[in-house]
Structure 1
């Protein structure tokens, strides 16, 4: 994880969901489907970042699911204006953040929320952005006995070859052309291994775009708008395809 994870743009719009609690976590919830749910594992900007909530609203609408964004940082949050402030970004203690929010610390919490969703809904999907990308691969691990039914990872960070090799559910990846956190060699490994695992697999390449495009893209740029809208549509279609099972 690097300073690029804090760069980007905040979008216009007002989220329409509500804040509540679920499985001992504060959550943002949107949508009303009682059969299918999607868990969003947020990026470094946390569960309150407006762009992520707007995306949740769009998935709820376009995929006909109920979407949950839990707080997986234990109440810690970063002010959204950091994405516009070079001085704040440079001063932010990313190594400290990583140590406070390591896989070892946060995976049990993420898993517990997924289990609670699976107990309530007939089908559950998960999408992870940046920091959350590794987490959805672990939720989709073939040893987890269908903890989730499908996953999407957008510009993931901290993703390992082992996590890629062990996925066992339909997997979609939203990958920008330039991404120091998901570099070419790991993209090549992904595209070599996943087609051999016997799962539905969809790799979406976004030419001319950088890390963070799916959650913090510049809506004044036609190229960025095309990319973030395509990413939103692709993820919604993936969940619609794999979570409804003909219903």
Structure 2
């Protein structure tokens, strides 16, 4: 696991109050928003977890703009960052409040993949159309859900994915969107190039959105008071909406 860069551990909490409710999905605590009976979107969160207001606000947007029911399960076993990590300026970043190496040992790919699959299977059994979107930590998981021998979702979108491996890219088998900031220590230049080389060969719908000047984490923790970041996070949200409307609508 590469060192977690500062841009992954810090960010900004957005204004707004989430409008969904909490329940369970495949035994995982889950934020749910939307009323569609035919289309679902599974959001796989980043290091800030399922209670982070920003991820819930994004879920509300996707529910309204994609006419979908959106699910944000807890994939960190009840572990959430202290509230002071998500104040308006994140003056106390995650790196100062939790043991990052221990956190990722507890929440590694092998530990969390089974429950991510269980949640996707539960939604697959209920909804004719299912998409998945992942931010940072959630990126690798979306690729796994879209693998040729698994294929639990109809399309995926990932923003600045982490823990992504070349095998994940090689095995993807559904329409794929990547939201890629210019500066990203986890979605490396090598991985960007590999995605853009391998995925088009599969004959799948593929969209690579590049965000110059922006850094890892911007699509879920960007500073709305910064004009460039604000435009980037709005563009990223709209791009995901457009992708799901095209491939789930």
Indicate whether 1:65 and 2:68 are aligned.
Answer: yes
Which of 146, 154, 166 aligns to 1:140? It is 146
User: CA, structure 1 residues 142+88, in 2 after alignment: closer, same or farther (shift >3 Å)?
Assistant: closer
Q: Which residue of 2 aligns with 1:101?
A: 107
Native 8 Å contact 2:45 2:55 kept in 1 = yes
Q: Which residue of 1 aligns with 2:134?
A: 128
Indicate whether 1:21 and 2:27 are aligned.
Answer: no
Q: Which structure 1 residue ranges, 4+ long, deviate > 4 Å from structure 2?
A: none
SS in 2 for 1:143: coil
Cα deviation for residue 87 of structure 1 reads 6.8
Alpha-carbon distance in structure 2 between the residues aligned to 1:119 and 1:239: 19
Indicate whether 1:225 and 2:230 are aligned.
Answer: yes
* Unpaired runs of at least 5, structure 2: none
Native 8 Å contact 1:16 1:30 kept in 2 = yes
User: CA, structure 1 residues 91+48, in 2 after alignment: closer, same or farther (shift >3 Å)?
Assistant: closer
* Unpaired runs of at least 5, structure 1: none
Cα deviation for residue 88 of structure 1 reads 5.7
Alpha-carbon distance in structure 1 between the residues aligned to 2:223 and 2:97: 23
Alpha-carbon distance in structure 2 between the residues aligned to 1:21 and 1:91: 27
Q: Which residue of 2 aligns with 1:47?
A: 50
Indicate whether 1:165 and 2:167 are aligned.
Answer: no
Indicate whether 1:241 and 2:232 are aligned.
Answer: no
Cα deviation for residue 226 of structure 1 reads 0.7
Native 8 Å contact 1:107 1:135 kept in 2 = yes
Cα deviation for residue 177 of structure 1 reads 0.4
Alpha-carbon distance in structure 1 between the residues aligned to 2:184 and 2:204: 25
Per-residue Cα deviation, 1:110-166 (whole angstroms, up to 9, x for no partner): 00000000000001000010011100000000111x310000110000100110110
Q: Which residue of 2 aligns with 1:154?
A: 159
User: TM-score, normalising length from structure 2?
Assistant: 0.95
Per-residue Cα deviation, 1:64-84 (whole angstroms, up to 9, x for no partner): 110000001110000253252
RMSD: 1.2
Alpha-carbon distance in structure 2 between the residues aligned to 1:76 and 1:90: 16
Q: How many residues align?
A: 243
Q: Which residue of 2 aligns with 1:116?
A: 122
User: TM-score, normalising length from structure 1?
Assistant: 0.95
Native 8 Å contact 1:15 1:57 kept in 2 = yes
Per-residue Cα deviation, 1:24-57 (whole angstroms, up to 9, x for no partner): 1110000001000000000010000000000000
User: CA, structure 1 residues 5+80, in 2 after alignment: closer, same or farther (shift >3 Å)?
Assistant: farther
Q: Which residue of 1 aligns with 2:197?
A: 192
